[in-house]
Amino acid sequence: MASSAFSNALFSPIYAPSKPISHQHNFSFLKFPNTRSHPLRKTTSLTAFCSFDASDSPSQDTPIELMYPAFPTVMDINKIREILPHRFPFLLVDRVVEFNPGVSAVAIKNVTINDNFFPGHFPERPIMPGVLMVEAMAQVGGLVMLQPEVGGSRDNFFFAGIDKVRFRKPVIAGDTLVMRMTLTKLQKRFGIAKMEGKAYVGGEIVCEGEFLMAMGSE
């Protein structure tokens, strides 16, 4: 069993050359098992390429910790706290990575095992409650709405309703929840705004819905 695990880790990439090898090389000592590659495995003792183009690629030698750039910071947590009235344990937005004032925003929530809801939801299987995903998305919507272009105020801004909400996949500890909220309709006279929200983990939609925001009078 240990030998099999070592073999899988060593030869995890799938070798599918895009064109025939033009030079003579003896690869008879390599055995390529029929297995899927694992994105976090890194060959430490041997790297083999069946394409000379691939062997020339510098990304093959890049450590995994340097392969994926961090999300940009358009608003850090201090700026978010200046806009949103929420505080611990109910501030569910960690960073804004894209922002079009009065139009849309993309923000992230780093889901960690230290979040206060995990001990009860659930002790043996930590899953982020769907209602908190919706709340986090609404807070991102608040960042869009609480801007001079829209006329919102943190003292009179409310989450008024949701519609067509669907949860596609569970969000667990260790995930990064990426939330996009887009203003679709604004009625300044009545202080009502409609927004479309989508949340992603690893590029896949985990939650989506339509949100209704209300701005009361001063």
pLDDT digits (tens, 9 = 90+) for 144-160: 988 766 666 666 778 89
Task: Return the higher-pLDDT residue of 214 and 169.
Answer: 169
- List, in order, residues 6 or more apart from 119 with CB less than 8 Å away: none
Q: Which of 23, 25, 38, 121 is catalytic?
A: 121
Per DSSP, helices labelled H in 1-94 are: 2-10, 52-55, 64-67, 77-83
Predicted model pTM: 0.70
Specify the higher pLDDT residue, 14 or 215: 215
Contact (CB, 8 A) for 159 and 213: yes
Pairwise CA distance, residues 116 & 122, whole Å = 11
pLDDT over 70, % of the chain? 67
Non-local CB neighbours of 55 within 8 Å, separated by 6+ positions: 49
Q: What is the pLDDT of residue 105?
A: 97
Q: If DSSP codes are grouped into helix, strand and coil, which group holds residue 135?
A: helix
Confidence of residue 58 (pLDDT cuts 50, 70, 90): low
Backbone conformation region of residue 174, classed left if phi is above 0, alpha if psi is from -120 to 50, else beta: left
pLDDT at 157: 78
Summarised one tens digit per residue, pLDDT across range 68-119 is 888 999 999 999 999 999 999 999 999 999 999 889 999 999 999 999 999 9
Whole-angstrom CA distances from 214 to 6, 101, 109, 161, 190 are 58, 17, 24, 9, 8
Give the mean pLDDT of 23-52.
42
Contacts of 179 (CB under 8 A, 6+ apart): 93, 106, 107, 108, 109, 136, 137, 140, 197, 198, 199, 200
Q: Which of 88, 213, 87 lies closest to 146, judged by CA?
A: 213
Taking all residues of the chain, what is their mean pLDDT, rounded to a whole number? Answer: 78
Told to judge if 25 belongs to the known catalytic residues of this protein, a careful annotator would answer no
DSSP state of 125: S
Q: E strands of 35-169, at which residues?
A: 95-100, 104-110, 157-167
Q: What are phi and psi of 132, to 5 degrees?
A: -80, -30
